[in-house]
Amino acid sequence: MIEHRIVSPTKKYIVKASESLLSGNLVAFPTETVYGLGASATNEKGINRIYEVKERPNDHPLIVHISGASKLKLWAREIPEYALDLANEFWPGPMTLILKRTNTAKDFITGGQDTVGLRIPNNEIALRLLREFENAGGLGIAAPSANRFGKVSPTSAQHVESDLGRYLSNSDLILDGGECDIGIESTIIDCTQGKPKVLRPGAISETAIFRINSEPAIFQTKTEKSPSLKIREIKHSGKFESHYSPNAILNLDAIPNPGDGLIAIYQKPTPDGCIRLAAPKNSQEFAQQLYSALRRGDELKLKRIVVLQPEGDEIAKAIRDRLQKAKTK
C-alpha cells in the first residue's frame, strides 16, 4: 500500500500539497481540533472526492478553512458585529462561524443551504498550507474531519492513514503534524440571527462566547420567515443520532466488567481485569485523549468500552455531547 504521510512537511511539501489541492486532489492536514480531509473549496471535483472517500451524504455541508479574517467577506455577507467580535477574539482557534454565504460558496460546499461554515484553524502546518494555497490563487480549503462518516474523528496522521489510506490516490497527501492539541471538533456557532447560537459545543464554551457578547448586536434580516425556516432545516452534526462511534459497544457511567475497556479521569480506579484505555488528569486531557482511546479499544477488539463522563462546564460539556452521540443505545 502507498504511504501518503509526510512527517513535519518542509516548504517543498507545503508547495506540493497546495498544488495538489489546486488540481482537485485531497490533502489531509492537522488542525488544533482534529485532522481535516481537505480539498479546494471551489473545485467541485475535489469536493466530490471528499464525499466519496468519507462516504458522507452529499447534502451535508463542509467547513471552509481560511488563513485570515480578511478572507471572510469573500465567503460571507451581512456579517453581524457580534460575529466579527467572536472572530477577533477566538481566531485562529477551535471555532466555526455559520454565516450567510456569498456566490463564492457554491451549493456543493453548503449542501444547497444559504449559509457557509468558516474557520481559521490554530495549527502551524494548517496555516502554512492555507497561506501557500491562497498565495497560489486558492480561495479556501474545505475540510471535514478525516474519518469515514459517522465514525470517530482522527487526532493523528496514523488515524487518517488507517481510516482513509486505502481510498486515497497516489496524488493525495496526508501532512503529519503529530497529535492534535485539543482533540475534539470546533465549536460551531450559528451567526445568522440576532445573537449567536451554539450548534455544536467545543473548546470555546458558551460562557466564553457570551462573555464577548454580553449585548449581542441586533442583526437585521431581510425576510423574517425564511431564515428561521432555514435554521430548523440546518444540517449539522447534532442532527444525526449516531456519530463519533467506535465499533465496540459504548456505555456511559456504567460499572465496567472484566475484559471491558475503561476511559475515566485518573482518580477513578481500574477494576480488576478491565483494560484502562485512558486516565486523563483533567477535562483538557480527556478531550485530547478520548478519540485515540476509543480507537485503541477497537484495535484491541474490545466488545465493550465504558466511559465515566467528566463533570463540569466548558470543554467537559463538549465531551459529554460527543459521548451522548457516540454511545450505543
CB atoms near residue 231 (< 10 Å): 15
CB of 34 to Mg ion, least distance (A): 8
Closest CB 80 distance from ligand TXA, rounded Å:
15
Nearer to ligand TXA, 124 or 253 (CB): 124
Q: Which does 155 bind (CB under 5 to 8 A by kind): Mg ion, ligand TXA, none?
A: none
60/276 with CB nearer ligand TXA: 60
Per DSSP, what are the bridge partners of residue 175? 6
Choice between 54 and 128, CB closer to Mg ion: 54
The Cα-based distances of 229 to 57, 111, 129, 193, 232 in angstroms read 21, 16, 37, 12, 5
Q: Write down the least CB distance from residue 29 to ligand TXA, Å.
A: 8
- Give the distance, in angstroms, between the CA of residue 130 and the centroid of all CA atoms in the same chain: 16
The cell numbers describing 51, all together, are 464525499
* Best CA proximity match to 125, nearest among 86, 164, 181: 181
Least distance to ligand TXA, CB of residue 50, Å: 9
> Residue 216 CB, nearest distance to ligand TXA (Å)?
19
d(CA 87, CA 277) in angstroms, rounded, equals 36
User: What angle do helix axes 11-22 and 124-135 make, rounded to 10 degrees?
Assistant: 60
**Nearest to residue 241, comparing CAs of 144, 150, 116, 145?**
150
DSSP 30-65: --SSS-EEEEETT-HHHHHHHHHHHT--TTS--EEE
Burial tier of 189 (Cβ tally within 10 Å: 0-12, 13-18, 19+): buried
Q: What is the 3-state secondary structure (H, E, C) of 221-278?
A: CCCCHHHHHHHHHCCCHHHCCCCCECCCEEEECCCCCCCCEEECCCCCCCCCCCEEEE
- By CB under 5 A, the count of residues binding Mg ion is 1
Query: Does position 96 bind Mg ion by CB under 5 A?
Result: no
Cα separation, 114 vs 101, whole angstroms: 6
Find the binder of Mg ion among 145, 156, 283, 288 (CB under 5 A): 145
Nearer to ligand TXA by C-beta: 33 or 288?
Answer: 33
187 near Mg ion, rule: CB under 5 A: no
Closer residue to ligand TXA (CB): 149 or 162: 149
Per CB under 6 A, residues contacting ligand TXA are: 31, 33-34, 36, 60-63, 96, 98, 110, 113, 115-117, 119, 121, 143-145, 185-186, 188, 234-237
Please say which residue, 234 or 302, places its beta carbon nearer to ligand TXA: 234
Q: Which of these segments, 55-63, 119-127, 141-149, 155-163, binds Mg ion (CB under 5 A)?
A: 141-149
Smallest gap from residue 243 Cβ to ligand TXA (A): 8
Question: Closest distance between Mg ion and the C-beta of residue 26, in Å?
Answer: 15
Single out the segment in contact with Mg ion by CB under 5 A; choices: 144-152, 161-169, 224-232, 245-253.
Answer: 144-152
> What's the closest the beta carbon of residue 163 comes to ligand TXA, in angstroms?
13
Q: 191 and 99 in contact (C-beta within 8 Å)?
A: yes
Segment interacting with Mg ion (CB under 5 A) among 123-131, 140-148, 296-304, 310-318: 140-148
**Residues within the interface to Mg ion (CB under 5 A):** 145
